[in-house]
Amino acid sequence: MKTLTTFFALLFALGVQAQHVMTVDVSHPAAKINPAMYGIFFEDINFGADGGLYAELVKNRSFDFPQPFVGWIPFGNVTIQSDGPCFDRNPQYVRIVNDGRLLRAGLDNEGFRGIGLKEGKEYRFTAYARTPDAKPMKLSVELVNANGDNLLKKELEVKGNGWQKLTAALKAPFTDAHSRLRVVLATEGTVDMDHISLLPVNTWKNRENGLRADLAQALYDLNPGVFRFPGGCIIEGNNLVTRYQWKSSVGPVENRPLNENRWNYTFKHKAFPDYFQSLGLGFYEYFLLSEDIGAEPLPVLSCGLSCQYESNEIVSLDELSPYVQDALDLIEFANRPVTSQWGEVRADMGHPAPFNLKMIAIGNEQWGKVYPERLEVFTKAIRARYPEIEIVGSAGPSASGEQFDYLWPEMKRIGADLVDEHYYRAPDWFFANAARYDNYDRKGPKVFAGEYASHDHSTGKANNFLAALSEAAFMTGLERNADVVRLATYAPLFTHVDAWQWNPDLIWFDNLRMMRTPSYYVQQMYGMNAGTDVLPLQMGGKPVTGQDSLYATAALDSNTGEIILKVVNAADKQADVRIDFNGLKKKTLVSGSCTYLQSNDLKAKNTLEQEALIPRVRPVQVSGRSLNLKPEPYSFGVYRLQVNGK
């Protein structure tokens, strides 16, 4: 025995690994994999919506921020008014007076840490305007670069003392991430203006109230199965008044009332007093995006508790009914015919067909007795009216501990269909928790890993390869346990490089570019290769959950007949793995490919300038019923294997 141990130690020292033998049982699928399993979670944090995915380039377009000139640089005689507003739910507007003495009167908008304009691209300027004294007036709309040079001017006329919509197409003559939009009153007199907006013409699917095309495309490219929105803590609000209210986010975009963002103050090391929600990206747009990217919508609503980390306001049980009604009305908005009250609102917005909502989450990271008390009221009401809708409850803000241990039994008692677990933990935790769900109760609610990300504190929580590799390893455990883990979404999704509050995040962007992190590519590799059925995979009679730093899972894609292997080698040495496929009967492996992500540098990151860490594809030599793999050091590989025969 001692000689054998010495032999292996010698091989190891020489960099030669002993062969690991794994078996995959092809004839006994262990569980179905939910087609919606790997998805995305979206929240307006880090300029995720306003300044990010929502393509509006003008900040505070309606002048309804508490400090109404935030985002604007007025010059000349410019004041804020609210008499006779254009939009009753966004009542403030700007009055520009050119008294003939001052050379210019008008205002610049600085956008979201600048306005990103691309040379040759078209932008749609819109605004509402009136001339109080009914005298025709001329406005100059200008695109200004970061040096302050006006490089494009377009003249518009305002006539009449009733509010009217102005539009102009502007073709940018330059590229600049920090441009400004300028509006100048060119003739003597007074003009009132509201909802001054600038959007690229080329949004995602070219919609007028659209999304930034590159960012939406990045979501589509993940092939997400589920889309959780709009938060996160944002649904709770800093207080109940500022909780996310979905009804405020539908209907004409100009009249959606501004709401303070939950993340406006939170991080003391960075003050962002300019973070409000225009709600231009609202529930209608979220449902539309779900449909566009082929993901099941999963809206999250307030349960009557404001953020428990912040004000911790509680709606008493006898005052909860408006909140419950919001949930019922949302289901009506999404699913009921156009003849229903909220179905008609959906149809008026352009979507008469239902959105086919199947799930709703009540509450985000809630805790304490107050949460199940409220969830139970919602659950009874939703079950009574919409028994087909699945209800997602919460296990609180942590993946373990007192609240987690209290809430899980409560979720079972109430009969939640899924329980949302959140974990932002170190890479070691993710590697060590690949077997987390192996012994979960199969009879209770299913798991929704609703927010997770590996936080490498030693590098300031960088979006590095170590974080991504540890997530890939952990996710083998999600997949192996697909009978109990039904959904999983990384968090947060987006961040603006000049306005981030929380890191790491899946996708970084500035006003012109975006960068997909290594974690993004891990999510994509799972999302594109989910498979339909878990196949038992073992090494030495056990699942592969980190033995010799290996993690592995196998699935069948019953649509194509392919076997999909996911293998993580978290060691600094190449591994030697033989996989025997049992139950293939007369079938044999005939071809295969491996999509892999690898780096010898665990601290490596992608940047806006270069995505060095991207998946690469190579062919895999196969024949017969076993396969020899040599997973490289620090690698995650997805193998798709084709079989033939009967």
Binding site for ligand AHR (CB under 6 A): 43, 45, 231-233, 364-365, 397, 422, 451, 491-492, 502
Identify any residues that bridge with 425 across adjacent strands, giving them in sequence order: 454
Cα 530 to chain centroid, rounded: 19
Report the distance separating Cα 525 and Cα 531, nearest Å.
11
Q: Closest approach of Cβ 234 to ligand AHR, in Å? A: 6
**Exposed/middle/buried for 633, CB within 10 Å: 0-12, 13-18, 19+?**
middle
In the complex, least distance from residue 450 CB atom to ligand AHR, rounded to whole angstroms? 8
Q: Which is nearer to ligand AHR, 166 or 399 (CB)?
A: 399
- Least distance in angstroms from the C-beta of 184 to ligand AHR: 41
| Assigned token pair, 640 | 């798709």
Spatial CB neighbours of 444, under 8 Å, sequence gap ≥ 6: 408, 411, 412
Residue of closest CB approach to ligand AHR: 232
Least distance to ligand AHR from the beta carbon of 492, Å?
4
What's the rounded Cα separation, in Å, for the pair 515 and 450?
A: 23
CB of 45 to ligand AHR, least distance (A): 6
Which residue's CB is nearer to ligand AHR, number 175 or number 503? 503
In the complex, minimum distance from the CB of residue 266 to ligand AHR, in angstroms, rounded to a whole number: 10
Separation between Cα atoms, residue 294 and residue 289, nearest integer Å? 8
**230 preceded by cis ω (within 30°)?**
yes
Catalytic: 155? Answer: no
Angle between helices 283-293 and 321-335 (to 10 degrees): 40
Give the phi and the psi of residue 79 in degrees, each rounded to 5: -135, 165
Nearest distance from residue 307's CB to ligand AHR, in Å? 9
> Which pair of structure tokens corresponds to residue 581?
């496929």
Catalytic residue among 142, 365, 410, 562: 365
- In the sheet that holds 635-644, the strands lie side by side as 31-32, 533-535, 550-557, 562-569, 635-644, 588-598, 616-619
Q: How far is CA 546 from the centre of its chain?
A: 29
d(CA 129, CA 63): 14
User: Of the two residues 87 and 229, which places its CB atom closer to ligand AHR in the complex?
Assistant: 229
Contact present, 444 and 451 (Cβ < 8 Å): no
Is 212 within 8 Å of 53 (Cβ atoms)? yes
| Closer residue to ligand AHR (CB): 359 or 568 | 359
**CB-nearer residue toward ligand AHR: 198 or 395:** 395
Helix residue spans in 148-200 (DSSP H):
none
Find out whether 96 and 76 touch, Cβ atoms under 8 Å.
Answer: yes
Check: CB of residue 474 under 8 Å from CB of residue 433.
yes
How far apart are the C-alpha atoms of 338 and 326, rounded to whole Å? 18
CB of 300 to ligand AHR, least distance (A): 9
Cβ distance to ligand AHR smaller for residue 274 or 365? 365
Considering beta carbons, is residue 45 or 78 the nearer one to ligand AHR?
45
Q: Which is nearer to ligand AHR, 364 or 599 (CB)?
A: 364
Give the active site residues: 365
